[in-house]
């Protein structure tokens, strides 16, 4: 649904996006994560046809953003970083206007406006002027206008920016629901949000994609070797030696209260053998799960690595 191949955007000498290549499929929620100036908003502007790319190719729903911008616009719903601002319009009249812009007329327009208003929780403010709404409601109205016309692809630029925690949680729940039936690409610099929403996290830094994986796989990839955590009810003194004897297990560290950390080789899964052994030895296996590095640590490490990699040209 979204395909970027070597997308590059240069503003004069400033390289905002540098050879970005990635895809996002239907039913997938991808998060563009990166610090300020990483190129997230520029990527959104390219996908919404607002900014022409310098090199590469970008497609939305199989339409090229450069050669078929109108077709692309028909298939996207866009929530910009700054929520819509026609302060003199009421929420209902604004959504009717957007419905018209999206080619919806008559009863169909009215029906869709009703649907998105209810879905985004704007029902109680539909007759209020946008200029008098709180930031949270403006964001909801922004999401509602993005949903009009039932677009196949949703592009949400920092959708929870400026929202208080309950509002942000509501917005995330709404996005999660929306991602089930369409492609959602959202940007954020909040790590917990990326981990909570993203089936895939695309980490950008200085215009480059430095990682593209699920939050869990990202953490493991950065950790290098695999790591497991195991809890036992009746550990014995030979647990460490017995586990170390399993092929693929590199190291076993005993923690307090029957908790063990098991380091395994990269991409080696020994969980079945470990579980079988624990049952056989009668250690009282309570839990065995992969240990993931927190996303924050992953993110910082990837950014550090990207900074250490020499590159030509300025970036932003």
Partner 1 sequence: MRGVWLIAWRELRAYLLSPIAYGVTAVFLALSGFFFFQHLADYSIRSLQWQYPGTQELLAALHPNQHILQPLFDQMSILLLFVTPILTMRLIAEERRAGSFDLLQSYPLTERAIVVGKYLAALAMLVLMLGLTWAYPLLLVWLGRPDLPAAAVGYLGLGLVGAAFAAIGCFASALTDKQVLAAAVAFFGASCLWLAEWPARNTTGWLKTALTHLSMRAHLLDFFNGVLVTSHVLFYTFLALFWLFLAVQVTEGLRWR
# chain residues binding partner 1, by CB under 8 A: 28
Sequence-separated (6 or more) residues with CB below 8 Å from residue 303: 35, 203, 205, 210
Nearest distance from C-beta of residue 13 to partner 1, angstroms:
14
Calculate the dihedral angle through the C-alpha atoms of 183, 189, 190, 196, rounding to the nearest 10 degrees: 20
Q: Concatenated DSSP letters for 85-134?
A: --TTSBHHHHHHHHHHHTT--HHHHHHHHHHHHHHTT-GGGTTSBGGGS-
Residue 315: phi, psi to the nearest 5?
-150, 165
When binding is defined by CB under 8 A, the residue of 68, 89, 277, 314 that contacts partner 1 is: 89
Asked whether position 86 contacts partner 1 by CB under 8 A, the answer is yes
The three-class DSSP label of residue 191 is helix
When binding is defined by CB under 8 A, the residue of 117, 139, 145, 292 that contacts partner 1 is: 145
26-54: b (≥16 Cβ within 10 Å) or e: eebbbbbbbeebbbbbbbbbbbbbebebe
Asked whether position 183 contacts partner 1 by CB under 8 A, the answer is no
Asked whether position 103 contacts partner 1 by CB under 8 A, the answer is yes
Asked whether position 117 contacts partner 1 by CB under 8 A, the answer is no
Q: Which residue has tokens 């509602």? A: 144
When binding is defined by CB under 8 A, the residue of 55, 101, 245, 279 that contacts partner 1 is: 101
Per the structure block, which two tokens stand in for 166?
């309950």
Asked whether position 4 contacts partner 1 by CB under 8 A, the answer is no
Site string for partner 1, 50-69 (x = CB under 8 A): xxx-----------------
Instruction: For the segment 240-259, give every residue that binds partner 1 (CB under 8 A).
Output: none
Given the complex with partner 1, which of 89 and 246 has the nearer CB atom?
89
Asked whether position 88 contacts partner 1 by CB under 8 A, the answer is yes
For partner 1, which stretch binds (CB under 8 A), given 79-87, 168-176, 203-211, 212-220? 79-87
Asked whether position 112 contacts partner 1 by CB under 8 A, the answer is no
Sequence-separated (6 or more) residues with CB below 8 Å from residue 109: 96, 99, 100
Other C-beta atoms closer than 10 Å to the C-beta of 208 total 19
Asked whether position 45 contacts partner 1 by CB under 8 A, the answer is yes
Given the complex with partner 1, which of 81 and 216 has the nearer CB atom?
81
Nearest distance from C-beta of residue 149 to partner 1, angstroms:
8
- Footprint of partner 1 (CB under 8 A): 11, 45, 48-52, 70, 73-74, 76, 78, 80-82, 84-86, 88-89, 97-98, 100-103, 105, 145
């Amino acid at each position: 649904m979204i395909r970027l191949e070597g997308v590059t955007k240069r503003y004069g000498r400033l390289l905002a996006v540098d050879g970005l290549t990635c895809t996002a499929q239907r039913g997938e929620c991808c998060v563009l994560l990166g610090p300020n100036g990483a190129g997230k908003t520029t990527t959104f502007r390219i996908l919404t046809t607002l900014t022409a790319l310098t090199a590469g190719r970008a497609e939305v729903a199989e339409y090229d953003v450069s050669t078929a911008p109108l077709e692309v616009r028909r298939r996207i719903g866009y929530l910009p970083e700054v929520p819509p601002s026609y302060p003199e319009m009421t929420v209902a009249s604004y959504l009717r206007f957007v419905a018209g812009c999206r080619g919806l007329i008559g009863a169909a327009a009215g029906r869709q406006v009703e649907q998105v208003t209810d879905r985004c929780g704007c029902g109680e403010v539909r007759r209020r002027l946008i200029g008098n709404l709180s930031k949270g409601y403006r964001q909801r109205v922004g999401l509602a206008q993005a949903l009009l016309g039932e677009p196949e692809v949703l592009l949400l630029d920092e959708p929870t920016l400026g929202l208080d925690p309950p509002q942000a949680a509501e917005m995330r729940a709404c996005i999660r629901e929306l991602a089930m039936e369409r492609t959602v690409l959202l940007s954020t610099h909040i790590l917990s949000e990326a981990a909570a929403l993203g089936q895939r996290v695309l980490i950008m830094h200085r215009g480059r994609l430095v990682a593209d994986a699920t939050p869990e796989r990202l953490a493991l990839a950065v950790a290098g070797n695999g790591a497991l955590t195991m809890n036992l009810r009746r550990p014995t003194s030979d647990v460490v030696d017995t586990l170390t004897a399993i092929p693929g297990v590199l190291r076993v560290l005993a923690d307090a209260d029957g908790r063990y950390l098991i380091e395994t080789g990269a991409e080696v899964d020994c969980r079945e053998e470990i579980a079988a052994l624990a049952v056989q030895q009668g250690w009282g296996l309570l839990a065995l799960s992969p240990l993931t590095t927190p996303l924050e640590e992953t993110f910082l490490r990837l950014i550090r690595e990207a900074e250490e990699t020499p590159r030509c040209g300025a970036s932003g």
